[in-house]
Amino acid sequence: MFFFSTQTFTTVGYGRISPVGMLTSFVATFEAFLGLLSFALATGLFYGRFSKPNAHIRFSKNTLITPFRDGKALMFRLAPFKNNYLSEVEVKLTLAVKEEENGEWKNKFYPLDTQINKINMLILSWTVVHPLDEKSPLYGLSDQEILNTPMELLVFIKGFDEAYSNAVIHRTSYLNTEFIAQAKFKIMYGPDKDANITILDFNLLDTYELVPNAS
């Protein structure tokens, strides 16, 4: 009876034992249906658990306050660290600022515009730029005022992963203590010496240099 049920449950077929009669055939049919359903559920659960789509994106450790055109801008950098290609990548920034209002401290949220908020393919690094112009809530503040104001830059990334054929999402944030003024990122990619290809060096993702003469 045990081996008969095992063969029916796993749908491997029967050996010398086969159901005879209406009742035993009904039991065998129910066990076969239950076996198919159980394996289908187990496959779906394991696949969803171990193959959950992930953006596989690394972000720079700091956000820089960098000279930009005739003013300055907030900049951070990101890059994919696996061989999968992300397409239709979109970024959204929100600034959470703690402000005093009528003697009480309140959290206020401001959406931030970016120079480019969507790219077709994310293959190399992407430096996200928020110009500190008239549209920015940080417009008119000095570098020191920005560094001393309690705030957090919330980052939301969404893209389409061709490997999983599914949308992927990634979130991160930067506190004002992670802002660095008067600095700019160093280039993290370049041509390979031995081959005609471009190399992306992740060791340079967080590297920057100071700009002493920045206004």
In tens, the pLDDT along 12-69 reads: 666 666 778 888 888 878 888 888 888 888 887 777 666 666 778 999 999 999 999 8
Instruction: Using the structure block, give the residue that is written with the tokens 């005022």.
Output: 145
Q: What is the pLDDT of residue 88?
A: 92
Amino acid at 20: V
Lowest mean pLDDT among 34-48, 77-91, 195-209: 34-48
Instruction: Using the structure block, give the residue that is written with the tokens 């790219």.
Output: 119
Quickly count: other Cβ atoms within 10 Å of residue 205's Cβ.
19
Q: What is the pLDDT of residue 190?
A: 82
Residue 69 burial (CB < 10 Å; 0-12/13-18/19+)?
exposed
Q: What is the pLDDT of residue 97?
A: 92
Is pTM beyond 0.85? Reply is: no
CA 37 to chain centre: 34
Question: What are φ and ψ of residue 37, in 5° steps?
Answer: -65, -40
User: What would the pLDDT profile of 88-111 be if each residue is shown by its tens digit?
Assistant: 999 999 999 988 777 788 889 999
Q: What angle do CA 131, 132, 133 make, to 5 degrees?
A: 95
Is the distance from CB of 152 to CB of 171 less than 8 angstroms?
no
Task: Name which of 169, 171, 145 is nearest 159 in CA terms.
Answer: 169
Instruction: Using the structure block, give the residue that is written with the tokens 């005609």.
Output: 196
Is the distance from CB of 98 to CB of 106 less than 8 angstroms?
yes
Q: What is the pLDDT of residue 48?
A: 64
pLDDT at position 120 over 90: yes
H or E element at residue 32: helix 22-50
Residue 70: both structure tokens together:
């005739």
